[in-house]
Structure 1
Amino acid sequence: MARTTPHDHPTADDQPLYGRVATQLLGELHDGTIPPGERLPGERQLAEHFQVSRETVRQALEVLRRDGLVATDRRGSHATLAGQPVETPSSLTFPVGARSTDPTGFDRATVTWETPPPDHAEALGIAPHRPTLVHRYASAAADGSGLRTAVTSFSAVALAEVEELARYRDRADGSAAAQLRRTYDWMRRAGLTLHHRDAITQVANAPSVRVTRRVHDQYARPLEITDLVVEAQQDALIYEFTLPAAG
């Protein structure tokens, strides 16, 4: 049985508490406190946030579901509101080389929990044969040209520090779409200063270039490594910059 708290009684204006919680939650969805399209925190977290019982949270979510403002599946609940969050996103997209979705083209991203490529494991300090979160991205024009494929491996540090990434571990089966375009914003919001090093080289004997991005934080801890292959020809180029933490 769900616990009952003193806060769970109707207010003087006879509005049930779950109605007030639904209104407050909707306000946070509108103002970007909870970004649109992202998974909502779990019932326990919402209960602590609003200082109510989990049963009250369930009732509030049901109100929003009936109005089509929240959708729930086996992986949890997420907002269905359109629009962009108030938080200013970083100028970087994830993964490196990702482009705006072309409705006539191909765009696919998935995550798995698996052993990363050996060079990724070495760069991230992951022991051989130890699994981690691996993200795969592929896109192409409608005619199949301009193919881009990227493989990203995340470090144990990234999964420990960035809650939004950690949530993907239990559902990283490679079957569902997993667009992680706001990964760098999540990292910054977790207080991490991001240092990127991108190396661009031409793939031998192929009309393609390879971009290898390594990201570490202000403590020189590796966060992720991405290998992107793009159908193009370009001379080698290496550049570095730092993106400060949010706040």
Structure 2
Amino acid sequence: MARTTTPHQPASTGDRPLYARVASRLLDELRDGTIPPGERLPGERQLAVHFEVSRETVRQALEMLRRGGLVATDRRGSHASLPGRPVEAPETLTFPVGARSADPCAYDRATVIWETPPPEHARALGLAPHRPTLVHRYRSVTPEGRSLRTAVTSFSAVALAEVVELGRYRGRADGATPAQLRRAYDWMRKAGLTLHHRDAITQVSDASSVRVTRRVHDQFARPLEITDLVVNSEQDTLVYEFTLPAAG
């Protein structure tokens, strides 16, 4: 009797179907930290290219990991759910990075407003001319009112659409209501966005201040925000402090 086979049966090694081997390889990448716990996984198309298999095979592999409680899926995509350091780790950067003065007597003033951003911000964020967005204005001042640091941040349409907590500010962004947004980067990461920061430091023309221009984009190279931070270098020192976890 002739032997029959099921069409499109995945190739296997031994008794393991292809999707199970892909699930195992993906699990290895989750465990070694290539994709941190809680972060959004690449899309099916990207995973298919990465593992050199079909999207259907990737879909089956993800379903296998979901059944094992190793991957969770919601409307924003699939996320690694292995035990590990949570997304909102203690060392998460406080927004806006570097804006707070080392002067123990300094205090903060911050507001948000819905307005047309500076032209250079609009270009960096891919916004059409004169299109308003959420703009955060920050000042660190002495008790006498002398400005030590100022920061102006404009958020992109992507950030406002995908980060619920930021989007909620649109209705109350009147330029007067206090709004620190210290956890903005936590909110972005919780929304499944991987943050890439790029800072450029230049001397301001009067030579008494320095300007830090920070651009942040996500894992898909979409702009999220741009910040211009100005520090009075005669009165203050710009210090960046961060912690990298030990390997393994």
The 8 Å contact of residues 90 and 185 in structure 1, kept in 2 or not, is answered as no
Q: CA deviation at 1:183?
A: 0.4
The 8 Å contact of residues 89 and 185 in structure 1, kept in 2 or not, is answered as no
Distance 2:153 2:107 in 1: 19
Q: CA deviation at 1:101?
A: 9.5
How much is the aligned-residue C-alpha RMSD, in angstroms?
2.7
- 1:120 alignment partner, SS class: helix
Distance 1:148 1:196 in 2: 20
The 8 Å contact of residues 96 and 213 in structure 1, kept in 2 or not, is answered as no
Q: CA deviation at 1:96?
A: 2.5
Distance 1:211 1:166 in 2: 26
Residue aligning to 1:183: 184
Distance 2:201 2:90 in 1: 25
Residue aligning to 2:216: 215
Change (3 A) 1:225 1:177: same
Distance 1:101 1:179 in 2: 18
What percent identity do the matched residue pairs reach?
78
Aligned length: 152
Residue aligning to 1:92: 93
Q: CA deviation at 1:97?
A: 1.8
Distance 1:225 1:104 in 2: 28
Q: TM-score, normalised by structure 1?
A: 0.56
Residue aligning to 2:201: 200
Q: CA deviation at 1:143?
A: 4.5
The 8 Å contact of residues 141 and 147 in structure 1, kept in 2 or not, is answered as yes
Is 1:230 the equivalent of 2:242? Answer: no
Q: CA deviation at 1:90?
A: 4.3
The 8 Å contact of residues 96 and 226 in structure 1, kept in 2 or not, is answered as no
Residues 1-150 of structure 1 aligned to structure 2 (within 5 Å): 87-99=88-100, 104-144=105-145, 147-150=148-151
- 2:122 alignment partner, SS class: helix
Look up the equivalent residue of 2:141 and give its one-letter code: A
Distance 1:209 1:117 in 2: 19
- 1:147 alignment partner, SS class: strand
Distance 1:227 1:140 in 2: 17
Q: CA deviation at 1:201?
A: 1.1
- 1:127 alignment partner, SS class: coil
Q: CA deviation at 1:95?
A: 1.0
Is 1:157 the equivalent of 2:158? Answer: yes
Structure 1 residues 49-102: Cα deviation after superposition (integer angstroms, max 9, x where no partner): xxxxxxxxxxxxxxxxxxxxxxxxxxxxxxxxxxxxx94244322113222797
Structure 2 unpaired stretches of 5+: 1-86
Look up the equivalent residue of 1:129 and give its one-letter code: H
Q: CA deviation at 1:169?
A: 0.3
Q: TM-score, normalised by structure 2?
A: 0.56
Radius of gyration: which is bigger?
Answer: 2
